[in-house]
Amino acid sequence: MPWKENYTASDEIGLRDDQVRWPGDRRCCVVVNVDLSLARGPDGLREKDLNDDRAMFGLREGMSQLLATLARFDIKATFTVPGVMAGMLGDSLRELILDGHEVAAHGFKHEDVATLSRDEEKARMDLTTEILTRVLGKQPSGWYSLPRQNDPFAVGTISPHTMELAIEAGYRYFGNGLSDDIPHYWVANFERRSAILTMPYFYHFDDQFFLLFPAKGTGLEHADTLFANWRAEFDAQYKRGRHFNMTLHPHAIGWCNRIKLLEDFFGHMRSLPDVWNPTAGQCADYWLETYPAATHLHLEASIWQDYPGSLS
């Protein structure tokens, strides 16, 4: 697709199914994200978000149930955490690393950075990187901007500067993009030919949109639909040999009836041969080496024309 600023995220060659290769001739790649953020809206985390019943359940019982399930099926996951939560979860985050999981950055307080100036967004990204580097002993590889429960759009929020700032800060990948169902490159600056690898995300496979909507207390949830989405998409991607992603929240998935559905899905996934389950960072490392931007980005000036009064 020809590049046009603010319209096109990527100008790479799309890969056919027979061009997608996974390590050791594996059939399919499955990446599991676990979002530890408790932010509800565009302002990001508030003090009361860290002390309410949802937080208490999610960070204790929900997390315990989820970790036990991941271990039972030998599933590795990428845990995304805002900078303001990293200090309070320090020991737990380090244990995740020791268990073979990944910890990635999820904003300073998982706020809507589109409302910030470039300088303020940079300052918050730098502070988040500093906090997580201190807690983990090394800089995280990934930067995420996942959606919050009360967002008007289910895709997460970035600013026009986020990708360039992430590249400048040393991040190897951005964690949630909707432009492809396999890893792809997000062009940050056309003139500088700079791009960042982006991991696939889609809200149909994010538990919060089925387990937290409508708001609690309505008696309505769609856990069975979520499970059906997971299985149908995984089966389709397995058949094609591509990539499947899913996003979990301990405070949503951690209830026993929902954990049972997750166990059923992981059991189905593990019943099939040649499924590769890396962390997002491991998948990104493989993709950067096997499908580098140098050979898979072909940036050319846009053939699209702007006309007075047009919306382009």
pLDDT digits 0-9 by tens, 209-265:
888 755 554 545 788 999 999 999 999 999 999 999 999 999 999 999 999 999 999
| pLDDT at residue 213 in the model | 59
Provide the greatest CA pair distance for the chain.
Answer: 60
Global pTM value: 0.92
Look at residue 60 and tell me whether its pLDDT is greater than 60: yes
3-state secondary structure of 35: strand
Exposure string over 181-194, b if 16+ CB within 10 A, otherwise e: bbbbbbbbebeeeb
Is the CB of residue 29 less than 8 Å from the CB of residue 269?
no
Mean of pLDDT values over 109-135: 97
Cα within 13 Å of Cα(17), Cβ side: 9
Mean of pLDDT values over 85-114: 96
Q: Which helix (H) or strand (E) holds 103?
A: strand 102-105
pLDDT digits 0-9 by tens, 14-42:
799 999 999 999 999 999 999 999 988 88
Q: Where are the domains of the chain?
A: 23-296
| pLDDT at residue 47 in the model | 87
Q: Over pLDDT 70: what percentage of the chain? A: 91
Look at residue 141 and tell me whether its pLDDT is greater than 50: yes
Average pLDDT, the chain: 90
| pLDDT at residue 125 in the model | 98
What does 263-291 look like in DSSP terms, one character per residue?
HHHHHHHHTSSSEE---HHHHHHHHHHHS
The CA-atom distances, in angstroms, between 110 and each of 22, 105, 148 are 32, 10, 8
Topology of domain 23-296, CATH: TIM Barrel (3.20.20)
| pLDDT at residue 309 in the model | 66
Reported confidence tier of residue 2, pLDDT bands at 50, 70, 90: very low
| pLDDT at residue 282 in the model | 99
Mean of pLDDT values over 258-278: 98
